[in-house]
């Protein structure tokens, strides 16, 4: 995984890092200070600023090395660069400001534009003008600031790179004095290299348990994590280039190619570049699919691969890692890799298995989202165990079986909805259907797998399914005869019928005669026929008890029969009109 991440971040150099900068202090080499500029999209409420890809960067260990208070070069906070809103007794920030100006002077010996900037920032009167305009623009002390000189950003130029690399070499030599680290095999590349003492932090996981300052993926700060007397990151020896590569790659993926799944973040990429419109993974949780369902889009992509229209996608590979943070460390919850074509097939299968009619009998234009399926398991996301979202993602991507525990959670929620007459959650019923389809296929029972359809299948001979159908018909019959009477057949008998159908359904069928007598002859005849048809499907009497798995089939039969009856009612009403 680290090797693949380092390849993805290939081209990154030690000492450089992409950074988002919101503000710039503008100088003119002849006039001086000309203003404070907001970068990025200033009209957005949460403007992240502008991304500069090759910003100078010091590691935390480099910043704290030695006795001198240090700061970053060319880019720092408003407090450090201009002493904006810094209290008079804050000596540490004042020292950082002096160090920031000192670096500009030193770099300016070979790069004159930087010496010009240093003179402006070293002038108290200029700083007063800068901080006044920062206050007018509501710049915060901790906001990142860079410098513009003559309408150019030095951070974008390369003329200072050689000086910067030489500065870091000297700094590193000072830090390594007396240590004399021995070359070791790089954990990432396999080549001999001097291992870095500590690995830099990964950013962007604060919303899933991480820290705002970042979290380490590789770290050995405690004795229990070390072996063979090795110190710190020598326990997984990694060269500086390899460490920068995987860190840059993962930071970019988290920022630009990740999605949050409850308490985890999933990032993915491909061996060879894939256009955004051909990436099938966003379809799993894309609520913006309106005119065309996500499944239709995936099916079209699969057809293009099979016909050779998109030959550049064949032979490609995908990689996906699921992450969360805990105590300043990154938890890798899952890792997946495989063929691109298999990925598209698996996602197509996922949508196919989940397909089911809506409770009113109509076909939904939208495919269910992954988060919608996850939501159907619990009343509140706080009740959701941490690994569930990661596991559901893996099920969809790898075409794996759905765990029995997921179905038990979905069934418990559906029972409550039915008894409380809250309306059945379509996503929960989709998950139950997909569970049985995948179970039948794994068992080699292709016949039952083919018979379990998105809509009602009267010929599905599974007793539990037919019992659920009967319960739905009896409930519909009562409503047709008596209207809305509050607690009806479903509210009073569904729980018992779904666990002990033989004890309940026979008695309800006998009492249904009273309801039939209240209906018009044609409607009574229709209900009588369908009740008789369901009873005739039982080879023997209905089961005395149903297992939890069979209860889920009972719920599925109930749902699909209800949807079918509502569909017929709508068609009849339209026919009358």
Measured CA to CA, the distance from residue 530 to residue 473 in angstroms comes to: 8
Q: Please tell me whether residues 161 and 92 are part of one structural domain.
A: yes
Q: Please tell me whether residues 158 and 187 are part of one structural domain.
A: no
Q: pLDDT at position 287, please?
A: 54
Measured CA to CA, the distance from residue 174 to residue 415 in angstroms comes to: 68
Domain end, chosen from 412, 429, 446, is at 412
pLDDT tens track for 413-470: 888 887 777 667 889 999 999 999 999 999 999 999 999 999 999 999 899 999 999 9
Whether 428 is in a domain gets the answer no
Domain end, chosen from 395, 412, 429, is at 412
Domain count, the chain: 4
Q: Please tell me whether residues 144 and 233 are part of one structural domain.
A: no
Q: How far is CA 444 from CA 331, 460, 539, in A?
A: 37, 17, 24
Measured CA to CA, the distance from residue 91 to residue 88 in angstroms comes to: 7
Q: Please tell me whether residues 302 and 328 are part of one structural domain.
A: yes
Q: Please tell me whether residues 160 and 135 are part of one structural domain.
A: yes
Whether 439 is in a domain gets the answer no
Nearest 5°: the CA angle 214, 220, 224 is: 130
Domain end, chosen from 113, 134, 168, is at 168
pLDDT tens track for 1-20: 999 999 988 777 889 999 99
Assess contact for 455 and 563: CB atoms under 8 A: yes
Q: Please tell me whether residues 60 and 134 are part of one structural domain.
A: yes
Whether 372 is in a domain gets the answer yes
Q: Please tell me whether residues 362 and 275 are part of one structural domain.
A: yes
Q: Supply the range of the domain harboring residue 229.
A: 180-253
Q: pLDDT at position 348, please?
A: 94
Q: Please tell me whether residues 377 and 404 are part of one structural domain.
A: yes
Whether 443 is in a domain gets the answer no
Q: Please tell me whether residues 391 and 473 are part of one structural domain.
A: no
From first to last of the 577 residues of the chain, give the pLDDT tens digit: 999 999 988 777 889 999 999 999 999 999 999 999 999 988 888 888 999 999 999 988 889 888 899 999 999 999 999 999 999 999 999 999 999 999 999 999 999 999 999 999 999 999 999 999 999 999 999 999 999 999 999 999 999 999 999 999 999 888 877 666 688 999 999 999 888 888 989 999 999 999 998 999 998 888 888 888 888 888 889 998 899 999 999 999 999 899 898 889 999 999 998 998 899 998 898 655 544 578 888 999 999 988 888 888 888 999 999 999 998 999 999 999 999 999 999 999 999 999 999 888 888 767 888 999 999 998 887 778 778 989 999 999 999 999 999 999 999 988 888 777 766 788 999 999 999 999 999 999 999 999 999 999 999 989 999 999 999 999 999 989 888 766 678 888 999 999 999 999 999 999 898 999 999 999 999 999 999 999 999 988 899 999 999 999 999 999 999 999 988 765 555 555 4
Q: pLDDT at position 486, please?
A: 60
What size, in residues, is the chain? 577
Percentage of the residues of the chain whose pLDDT score is greater than 70: 95
Whether 433 is in a domain gets the answer no
Whether 4 is in a domain gets the answer no
Q: Please tell me whether residues 337 and 398 are part of one structural domain.
A: yes
Q: Please tell me whether residues 24 and 125 are part of one structural domain.
A: yes
Q: For 323, phi and psi rounded to 5 degrees? A: -130, 155
Whether 420 is in a domain gets the answer no
Whether 425 is in a domain gets the answer no
Parallel, antiparallel, or unpaired for β 23-28 and 32-38? antiparallel
Each as own residue / partner, the long-range contacts of residues 335-341 (CB below 8 Å, 24 or more positions apart, any chain) are: 335/1, 336/394, 336/397, 336/398, 337/4, 338/398, 339/315, 340/270, 340/274, 340/313, 340/314, 340/315, 340/316, 341/302, 341/305, 341/313, 341/314
Q: For 140, phi and psi rounded to 5 degrees? A: -90, 155
The model's pTM is 0.83
Tokens 């950003």 belong to 153
Cα-based torsion angle of the residue sequence 413, 414, 416, 418 in order, rounded to the nearest 10 degrees: 170
Q: Please tell me whether residues 109 and 195 are part of one structural domain.
A: no
């Amino acid at each position: 995984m680290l090797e693949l991440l380092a390849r993805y971040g290939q081209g990154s150099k030690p000492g450089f890092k992409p950074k988002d900068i919101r503000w710039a202090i503008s100088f003119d080499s002849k006039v001086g200070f000309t203003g404070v500029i907001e970068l990025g999209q200033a009209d957005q409420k949460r403007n992240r600023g502008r991304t500069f890809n090759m910003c100078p960067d010091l590691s935390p260990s480099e910043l704290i090395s030695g006795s001198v208070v240090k700061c970053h070069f060319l880019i720092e906070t408003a407090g450090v660069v201009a002493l904006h809103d810094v209290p008079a007794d804050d000596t540490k920030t004042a020292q950082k400001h002096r160090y920031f100006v000192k670096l500009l002077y030193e770099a300016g010996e070979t790069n004159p534009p930087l010496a010009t900037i240093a003179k402006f920032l070293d002038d108290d009167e200029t700083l007063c003008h800068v901080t006044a305009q920062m206050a007018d623009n509501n710049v915060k002390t901790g906001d990142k600031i860079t410098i513009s000189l003559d309408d150019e950003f030095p951070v974008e130029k390369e003329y200072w790179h050689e000086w910067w690399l030489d500065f870091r070499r000297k700094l590193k030599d000072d830090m390594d004095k007396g240590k004399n680290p021995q070359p070791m095999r790089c954990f990432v590349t396999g080549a001999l290299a001097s291992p870095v003492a500590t690995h830099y932090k990964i950013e962007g996981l604060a919303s899933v348990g991480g820290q705002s300052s970042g979290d380490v993926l590789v770290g050995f700060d405690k004795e229990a994590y070390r072996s063979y007397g090795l110190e710190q990151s020598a326990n997984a020896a990694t060269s500086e280039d390899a460490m920068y590569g995987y860190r840059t790659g993962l930071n970019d993926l988290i920022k630009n190619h990740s999605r949050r799944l409850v308490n985890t973040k999933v990032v993915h990429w491909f061996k060879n570049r894939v256009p955004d419109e051909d990436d099938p993974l966003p379809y799993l949780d894309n609520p913006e699919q309106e005119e065309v369902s996500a499944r239709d889009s995936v099916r079209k992509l699969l057809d293009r691969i099979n016909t050779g229209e998109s030959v550049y996608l064949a032979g490609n590979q995908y990689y996906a890692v699921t992450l969360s943070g805990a105590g300043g460390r990154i938890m890798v919850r899952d890792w997946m890799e495989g063929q691109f074509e298999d990925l598209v097939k698996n996602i197509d299968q996922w949508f196919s298995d989940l397909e089911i009619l809506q409770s009113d009998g109509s076909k939904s234009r939208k495919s269910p989202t992954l988060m919608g399926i996850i939501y159907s398991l619990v009343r509140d996301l706080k009740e959701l165990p941490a690994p569930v979202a990661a596991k559901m993602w893996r099920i969809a991507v790898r075409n794996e079986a759905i765990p029995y525990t997921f179905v038990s959670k979905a069934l418990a929620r559906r029972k409550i909805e039915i008894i409380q007459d809250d309306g059945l959650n379509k996503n929960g019923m989709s998950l139950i259907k997909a569970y049985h389809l995948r179970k039948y296929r794994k068992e080699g029972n292709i016949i039952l797998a083919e018979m379990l359809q998105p809509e009602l299948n009267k010929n599905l001979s599974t007793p539990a399914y037919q019992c659920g159908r009967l319960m739905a018909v009896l409930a519909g019959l009562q409503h047709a005869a008596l209207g809305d009477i509050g607690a009806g057949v479903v509210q009073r008998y569904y729980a018992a019928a779904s666990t002990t159908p033989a004890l309940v359904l026979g008695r309800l069928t006998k009492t249904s005669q009273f309801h039939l007598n209240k209906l018009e002859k044609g409607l009574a005849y229709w209900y009588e026929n369908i009740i008789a048809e369901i009873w005739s499907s039982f080879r023997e009497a209905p089961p005395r008890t149903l297992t939890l798995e069979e209860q889920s089939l009972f719920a599925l039969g109930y749902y699909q029969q209800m949807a079918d009856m509502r569909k017929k009612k709508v068609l009849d009403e339209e026919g009358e009109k």
